Amino acid sequence: MECSQITAKLEELSPCFYAENWDNVGMLLGDKKRKISKIYVAVDATDKVVDEAILLGADMIITHHPLIFSPMKKITTEDFIGRRVLKMLENKICYYAMHTNFDVTHMAELAADKIGLTTRSVLEVTYEGETFKAGIGKVGLLPEEITLSKCAEQVKEKFDVEQVKIFGEPLHKVQTAAICPGSGKSVIDCAVKAGAQVLITGDIDHHEGIDAVAKGLTIIDAGHYGLEHIFVLYIVKYLEEECSGVEVIWEVKKNPFWYM
């Protein structure tokens, strides 16, 4: 299957125009006319991912986070991004990233499904069409009112994470919930405005957490990777259904850090 046919399928799923203007999504490396027989899917294009893709004979890598994010004035082996770029080019690997466009079209919906969120709506509107609005995160109702502690246990189980960081009292009751996979610092005020009692997200630091509680919003921080790893198996399934004759392999789920 030609690379351009695969990218067309990906852009049917998550059109690039949904991406934030600061983002860098779509086909970032390679020849769109290249024939693709094996695709490797991961959250990030780390050294391990690139090396494993080469070892396994992948012709294409698809990630959630873009490896090339800021403008690059030179591409050399002196820089870790440059080294990965050169490895992919040397091995004729095409590289595609689906970041905030996938966040808008699917990520929050998938995450909301996992926790059973009902009567959901967009948490932060980032795109307005003629007849609809779309954006980052979801807000809605949990199946029942539960304690913050119980909600945290459910998040751990549903997203298969080792631990979560919680801001708020364990016995505080919550039902209106907001969820924003990835980094949720920027949506705290959106969650407060939406009347959420808890925000499930990642990358919340000390001051943001305690300030959120002061505003009446509790926080369950399940980690950036902890919530976004759901991207991988969703894309794998989609490619297997839409790209006949192409083998799809993926990075085994593993946190990029460990606890002690």
- Do 46 and 137 lie in one domain? The reply is no
- Shared domain for 218 and 239, answered yes or no, is no
Question: Do residues 111 and 201 share a domain?
Answer: yes
Tell whether the model's pLDDT for residue 260 goes beyond 90.
no
Q: Residue 9: what pLDDT? A: 98
The total of structural domains in the chain comes to 2
The answer, yes or no, to whether residue 6 has pLDDT greater than 90, is yes
In a domain, 255, yes or no: no
Q: How confident is the model at residue 258 (pLDDT cuts 50, 70, 90)?
A: confident
**Over the chain, what is the mean pLDDT?**
97
- Whole-prediction pTM value? 0.96
DSSP string of the chain, one letter each residue = -BHHHHHHHHHHHS-GGGS-TT---EEEES-TTSB-SEEEEESS--HHHHHHHHHTT-SEEEESS-S--S--S---TTSHHHHHHHHHHHTT-EEEE--HHHIIIIIHHHHHHHTT-EEEEEEEEEEE-SS-EEEEEEEEEEEEEEEHHHHHHHHHHHHT-S--EEES-TT-EEEEEEEEEEE-GGGHHHHHHTT-SEEEEE---HHHHHHHHHTT-EEEE--HHHHHTHHHHHHHHHHHHHSTT-EEEEPPP--SS---
Pair (113, 80) in one structural domain: no
Q: What is the pLDDT of residues 32-67, one digit of tens each?
A: 999 999 999 999 999 999 999 999 999 999 999 999
Same domain, 91 and 143: no
Per-residue pLDDT at 259: 85
| 51 falls within a domain | yes
Range of the domain at 149: 101-226
Q: Are residues 64 and 8 in the same domain?
A: yes
Tell me: do 141 and 218 sit in the same domain.
yes
Q: In CATH, what number is assigned to the domain containing residue 136?
A: 3.40.1390.30
**pLDDT tens digit string along 60-100?**
999 999 999 999 999 999 999 999 999 999 999 999 999 99
Same domain, yes or no: 92 and 119: no
111-134 residue pLDDT tens: 999 999 999 999 999 999 889 999
